[in-house]
């Protein structure tokens, strides 16, 4: 479904991605793990088209989306939903307006249908009747769930999750993990999750990929990754300070 070919991205002298190659299959949950600052978020932003790569290509169902004009890229973005790390809710809008935002742009639904879909999306993430609240009235976990409701409201085929369990307590983090699994099952979406939380990663992943020094250095099922002989992978998944990774 998504094919990433030799993707490069630098910011000034700092190289973030140095030739990423990865295939993501339709309907699977691919979790990309890696240290903070290893370029995971950049990879997600390249996938959805917020940023353009310096070199390389991203293909969605065979179409090279990286070479599309911005207008066409916006149309491709319709197929994606994205949950941002800090939810990125529009703070000048109510919860209801936030969730309706994509629906109003991507669909031809009338106001009543939009309101119904908003309520339905909020119910899917376990929040009911909070349409009139403002984002500043929500807790961190609620913000994430509203962000998720906004991402799924227009029924995208691919959902990108940027650190879904970061910044919330373990119980709420697990609730988000359950939701990722449930949405995959109910909506049959392809999911790309980036995280450095190994508990979350092994719980939701069909396959895991580890990003290190701008490249994918390991790819496989959670079991395969756990058994990887690579000392870098072992150091990361066991969260040890000692080992080949020294730039922390």
Partner 1 sequence: MERTGRASLLAGFLRQMGEVSILFAETFRNLFRKPWEKKNFLQQLEEIGARTLPVVSLTAAFGGLVFGLQTYVGFHRYIGHGSEAYGGPIISLGLTKELIPILVGLMVAGRVGSSMAAEIGTMRISEQVDALFTLGADPNRYLVVPRTAAAFLMLPCLTLFGDIIGILCGAFYNVTLMGVNGTVYIRNTLLYLQFWDVVSGLIKAAAFGILIAVIGCWQGLKAEGGAEGVGRATTRTVVIASISILIVNFFMSKFLPG
Q: Which residues bind partner 1 (CB under 8 A)?
A: 45, 48-50, 70, 74, 77-78, 80-82, 84-86, 88-91, 101-102, 105-106, 150-151
What is the smallest separation between the CB atom of 220 and partner 1, expressed in angstroms? 29
What is the smallest separation between the CB atom of 52 and partner 1, expressed in angstroms? 12
Choice between 48 and 180, CB closer to partner 1: 48
Choice between 84 and 236, CB closer to partner 1: 84
- Residue 173 has a CB neighbour count (10 Å cut-off) of 21
For β-strands 158-162 and 14-24, DSSP reports them as unpaired
Q: What is the torsion angle, in degrees rounded to the nearest 10, for the CA atoms of residue 106, residue 80, residue 156 and residue 185?
A: -170
What is the smallest separation between the CB atom of 14 and partner 1, expressed in angstroms? 14
Choice between 101 and 226, CB closer to partner 1: 101
What is the smallest separation between the CB atom of 219 and partner 1, expressed in angstroms? 26
Residue pair 202/227 in contact (Cβ under 8 Å)? The answer is no
Phi/psi at 38 (nearest 5 deg)? -85, 0
Q: What is the DSSP letter of 206?
A: S
Choice between 24 and 100, CB closer to partner 1: 100
Q: Which residues pair with 83 in a beta bridge?
A: 161
């Amino acid at each position: 479904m998504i094919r990433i070919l030799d993707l490069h991205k630098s910011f000034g002298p700092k190289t973030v991605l140095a030739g990423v190659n990865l295939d993501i299959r339709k309907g699977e949950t691919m979790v990309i793990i890696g240290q903070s600052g290893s370029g995971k978020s950049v990879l997600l932003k390249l996938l959805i088209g917020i940023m353009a790569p310096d070199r390389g290509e991203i293909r969605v169902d065979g179409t090279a989306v990286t070479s599309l004009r911005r207008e066409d890229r916006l149309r491709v973005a319709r197929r994606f939903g994205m949950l941002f790390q800090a939810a990125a809710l529009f703070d000048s809008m109510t919860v209801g307006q936030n969730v309706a935002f994509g629906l109003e742009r991507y669909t031809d639904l009338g106001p009543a249908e939009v309101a119904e879909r908003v309520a339905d999306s909020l119910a899917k993430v376990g929040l009911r009747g909070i349409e009139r609240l403002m984002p500043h009235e929500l807790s961190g976990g609620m913000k994430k769930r509203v962000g998720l409701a906004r991402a799924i409201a227009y029924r995208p085929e691919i959902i990108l999750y940027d650190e879904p369990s970061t910044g919330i307590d373990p119980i709420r983090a697990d609730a988000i993990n359950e939701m990722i699994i449930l949405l995959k099952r109910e909506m049959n979406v392809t999911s790309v999750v980036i995280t450095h939380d190994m508990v979350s990663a092994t719980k939701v992943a069909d396959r895991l990929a580890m990003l290190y020094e701008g490249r994918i250095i390991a790819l496989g099922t959670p079991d395969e990754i756990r058994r990887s002989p690579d000392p870098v992978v072992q150091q990361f998944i066991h969260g040890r300070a000692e080992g080949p990774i020294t730039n922390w």
